[in-house]
Structure 1
């Protein structure tokens, strides 16, 4: 479904991604782990065309994404729940969800909203509440639901557990598994909580300094002494 071949990305003189080869097959959860500054979020946003890749090929369902605007790429069937959630804080929960449906068939909107209420019951209870008054975990639910309202074929999740309390971290990963298991959703997940990410992933990549340095199944990487030493021992600490 998604294929990156020898992808390079620059920020001015900074060479952020260096020859990335990565695949996501339909129906998979693929996770990308690595330390802060490794290039994980850059990889995610480059898939959506911002920043644009400076070399290599990036294809989705066999078609090149080169030269397409972020809106055109979104229309092709890719949606993102970005790092830091970036919901519209002054809008209501309902208004945020409707913003996610801009590129979707309007005739499906009511059914889509009902589906979001089933997946995220708390959002129906908070429907007319401004998004800025939600807890961090509730805002993350909203960010994921907003992305799903566009009917994506591929869902990009960038650090969905960042800054969340443990109870919400567990909930987020339960939702990721449910989306994949029950809806067949294909997911590319960037996550610092390597233990949880590898547990739900079919396959995984380790990114260091803009390079892919390891890849394998989630179970294989979870057993790797290098991965355990660098990313698993001591666990992941939530901040709020």
Structure 2
């Protein structure tokens, strides 16, 4: 479904991605882990052209989207729930969700809204509440819901558990699993909570200094000595 081939990306003279090769097959959960500054968010936003990649190719369902405008990428069926949520705090929950559905047939909005409220009941309860007054975990649910109402073929999640309490972390990972298994949603997940992310993943990549250092199934990377030492030390195997 999504393939990055030998992708480089720069911020001015600073190279953020170096020869990245990555593949997401339809129906998979693919996880990308790495330390702060490794280039994970650059990879995600680079798919939307921010920054525009310096060289290489980004293919979505066989189409080269390396130079496609950001809004056109969304219309092709890719949605991003960005790091830091980036909801519109002065708008209500409902208004944020309506913005997510900008590029889809409005006839679907009612049924899509029912699905979002089934996944995240608190959003239904607070649909007229200003988004900025929600808790951090509730705002993350809203950010994911806003992405889902765009009816994406590929859902990209950038650090969805960042800064959340454990109860919300468990909920977020449960929802990721549900939309993948029940709805058949393809997911590309960037996450620092490596243990939970790798347990979910069909395939996983480790990004270091802008380069892919390791790849394999989620189970393989959970057992990798290098991954254990760098990303799993001090964690515990809590069920999701």
TM-score scaled by length of structure 1: 0.97
In the alignment, the residues of structure 2 paired with residue 174 and residue 114 of structure 1 have an alpha-carbon distance, to the nearest angstrom, of 18
In the alignment, the residues of structure 1 paired with residue 176 and residue 235 of structure 2 have an alpha-carbon distance, to the nearest angstrom, of 20
Show the counterpart of 2:152: 152
Offset, 1:235: 2.7
In the alignment, the residues of structure 1 paired with residue 61 and residue 164 of structure 2 have an alpha-carbon distance, to the nearest angstrom, of 34
Show the counterpart of 2:36: 36
Tell me the C-alpha RMSD between the 2 structures: 0.8
Give yes or no for the alignment of 1:161 onto 2:161: yes
In the alignment, the residues of structure 1 paired with residue 66 and residue 4 of structure 2 have an alpha-carbon distance, to the nearest angstrom, of 11
In the alignment, the residues of structure 2 paired with residue 76 and residue 126 of structure 1 have an alpha-carbon distance, to the nearest angstrom, of 31
Post-superposition Cα deviations, 1:176-231, rounded to whole Å, max 9, x if no partner, equal 00010000000000000000000100100000000000000000000011000000
Written as runs of structure 1 = structure 2, the 5 A alignment for 1:1-240 is 1-235=1-235
Post-superposition Cα deviations, 1:154-180, rounded to whole Å, max 9, x if no partner, equal 000000000000110011000000010
In the alignment, the residues of structure 1 paired with residue 129 and residue 4 of structure 2 have an alpha-carbon distance, to the nearest angstrom, of 40
**Structure 2 residue matching 1:67: 3-state secondary structure:** coil
In the alignment, the residues of structure 1 paired with residue 111 and residue 178 of structure 2 have an alpha-carbon distance, to the nearest angstrom, of 19
Offset, 1:119: 1.2
TM-score scaled by length of structure 2: 0.97
In the alignment, the residues of structure 2 paired with residue 183 and residue 211 of structure 1 have an alpha-carbon distance, to the nearest angstrom, of 32
**Structure 2 residue matching 1:124: 3-state secondary structure:** helix
Q: Which runs of 5+ in 1 are unaligned?
A: none
Post-superposition Cα deviations, 1:59-106, rounded to whole Å, max 9, x if no partner, equal 000001022111000000000000000000000000000000000101
**Structure 2 residue matching 1:157: 3-state secondary structure:** strand
In the alignment, the residues of structure 2 paired with residue 158 and residue 217 of structure 1 have an alpha-carbon distance, to the nearest angstrom, of 20
In the alignment, the residues of structure 2 paired with residue 206 and residue 8 of structure 1 have an alpha-carbon distance, to the nearest angstrom, of 16
Q: Which runs of 5+ in 2 are unaligned?
A: none
In the alignment, the residues of structure 1 paired with residue 157 and residue 24 of structure 2 have an alpha-carbon distance, to the nearest angstrom, of 13
In the alignment, the residues of structure 2 paired with residue 49 and residue 17 of structure 1 have an alpha-carbon distance, to the nearest angstrom, of 13
Cα contact 1:2–1:25 (8 A) shared by 2: yes
Offset, 1:234: 1.3
